[in-house]
Amino acid sequence: MSDASFVRTEMLSEQDPPPTSVGVIGWLRANLFSNWWNAILTVLCLAAIWYVLSGLLGWTLRSVWNAGSLNECRDVMIANWGSTHGHACWGVINDRWLQLLFGFYPPELYYRPILAMLLLFAALAPVLFADKVPPKLLYVTAAYPFLMPWLMWGGSIWTPIGVAAGFVVAYLVGRKLGGTASGLVLGILSAVVWWMLWFGLPGQAETFDSGVGRVLVAGLGENLASISPDTAPFWLETVESRKFGGFMLSVLIGVVAIGCSLPLGILLALGRQSNMLIVKAICVGFIEFIRGVPLITLLFVASTLLNIFLPPGTNFDIILRVMIMVTLFAAAYMAEVIRGGLAGLPTGQYEGADSLGLNYWQAQRLIIMPQALKISIPGIVSTFIGIFKDTTLVSIIALLDPLGLSNSIRADTDWNGIYWELFAFIALMFFIACFGMSRYSMYLERKLKTEND
């Protein structure tokens, strides 16, 4: 080996990096001015941001909060700034924000939609944040579909209890017969029989005049002849759905549509994957038809045609009709999301289920669906965001969602002529809600990804 003439025995001491590559300057150089092209773009962007913000912030902040009408607003603007241009009149929001949130829901009952909303979070928590909340909350989830309509529409507690009991009956019967197709069918049939017993047969369904419900309630010591708002236990004042409006209506349509479309969507997705030709054709036909037409045409159907399609004399009110159509709409999209979830499962899961000797429904219930639904949650959340945004379309068929209400508010002589403030408020509310949900969906996607990796 050659003899090295020089070997360094101690390390050189660390030197500070050049000042242009660290700290603020370094960051600026790396991220904003890395070459002349980027520098130009940066400057242009800054100019654009300045232009937009200077106009927008001035309008937003130099504004009038306390005014009872647009003319009052204008007077204040003239007094303060000498001109009415470039200033927002938030008085309209100040005046009408409760209406924009709750529509015409009776103010003394506002606690009910608020409670329903809070319960919604409680009910969703075990599904959405499974690892962070006690699993006991699942009971809330199970009860929610029955509690929510009761809270929103009011009436007697026996209605949701009767409906829920029907599901319990269906479950018990289905379980007794084992998880087979006939068990499923018989379970559903027994539930229908139960509901008929409880509520009375259709046609004479004056809720409590007939049926076992009446007998049971009698057994609980109620005076049957006078089941009325005053005597029934837990009676909530009924609120007709046409009193619903504003953001409450948007959220309600969205939640009902997603909630109801989930079981429908599962069935459609299974039907689409099935190898039974006719069942598959019907499911594919339904899904493609709904996905092929704009929601607005379905809403036209709800507003003008649905009554024609139903037996003479039936007459749902428009909000329920819209909920039905939006549910069908959501079901088609939900079916596709769940189909994606099913496709995402490795074939081994299906084969494993078969090798255990499980029949179709058992395999679906115990093995396939729990996994498929779990990986579908981000898709379901995005479907919900889409539906929630699409609820603004109901303003076109004269429902008073926030956008529809903004029109009615402008028809009040006090606020005739106001424009941007209402839209800005509505857009902001939608943004906050949808942005929050999409963040959650992304968080979930990341989590699922790391779990799978």
Looking only at residues 59 through 98 of this chain, which bind other proteins when binding is defined by CB under 8 A?
Answer: 70, 74, 84, 95-96
To the nearest whole angstrom, how small is the minimum distance from the Cβ of residue 105 to other proteins? Answer: 8
Q: Which of 287, 403, 421, 441 binds other proteins (CB under 8 A)?
A: 403
At closest approach, how far in Å is the CB of 139 from other proteins? 15
Asked whether position 212 contacts other proteins by CB under 8 A, the answer is no
**Shortest distance (Å) from residue 7 CB to other proteins:** 35
CA distances (Å), origin 113, targets 41, 102, 117, 233, 319: 48, 8, 6, 20, 16
Between residues 182 and 231, which has the closer beta carbon with respect to other proteins? 182
207 binds other proteins (CB under 8 A): yes
- Could you tell me the maximum CA-CA distance found in the chain, to the nearest angstrom? 114
Q: Which of 59, 110, 129, 300 binds other proteins (CB under 8 A)?
A: 300
In the list 88, 239, 253, 295, the residue contacting other proteins (rule: CB under 8 A) is: 295
Closest by Cα among 351, 306, 265, 133 to 273: 265
Q: Rule CB under 8 A: is residue 242 a binding residue for other proteins?
A: yes
Q: Which of residues 4-33 bind other proteins (CB under 8 A)?
A: 31-32
- Among residues 160, 174, 179, 187, which is the contact residue for other proteins, using CB under 8 A? 160
Which residue from 259, 358, 362, 440 is in contact with other proteins, where contact means CB under 8 A? Answer: 259
Question: Smaller CB distance to other proteins: residue 223 or 274?
Answer: 274
Q: Binding segment for other proteins among 5-13, 59-67, 222-230, 235-243 (CB under 8 A)?
A: 235-243
Q: Which of 22, 23, 25, 41 binds other proteins (CB under 8 A)?
A: 41
9 or 314, CB closer to other proteins? 314
Q: Which of residues 324-363 bind other proteins (CB under 8 A)?
A: 324, 327
* 392 near other proteins, rule: CB under 8 A: yes
Rg (CA), the chain: 30
The nearest distance, CB 367 to other proteins, in angstroms, is: 19
| 273 is a site residue for other proteins (CB under 8 A) | no
- For residue 42, the minimal CB distance to other proteins (Å) is 5
Per CB under 8 A, the segment of 252-260, 339-347, 349-357, 370-378 that binds other proteins is 252-260
Nearer to other proteins, 12 or 324 (CB): 324
Does 229 bind other proteins (CB under 8 A)? Our answer is no
Q: Could you tell me the smallest distance in angstroms from the CB atom of residue 75 to other proteins?
A: 11
- 345 near 397, Cβ under 8 Å? no
Q: What's the Cα-to-Cα distance from 124 to each of 139, 144, 213, 415, 441, rounded to whole Å?
A: 11, 9, 30, 39, 13
Please, which residues bridge with residue 155 across strands?
Answer: 236
Of 13 and 452, CB closest to other proteins? 452
**Site for other proteins, residues 414 to 433, rule: CB under 8 A:** 416-417, 419-420, 423, 426-427, 430-431
| Interface with other proteins (CB under 8 A), residue from 318, 375, 377, 381 | 318
Q: Does 36 bind other proteins (CB under 8 A)?
A: no
Site pattern 186..205 for other proteins (x: CB under 8 A):
-----x---x---x--x--x
Count of residues touching other proteins (by CB under 8 A): 115
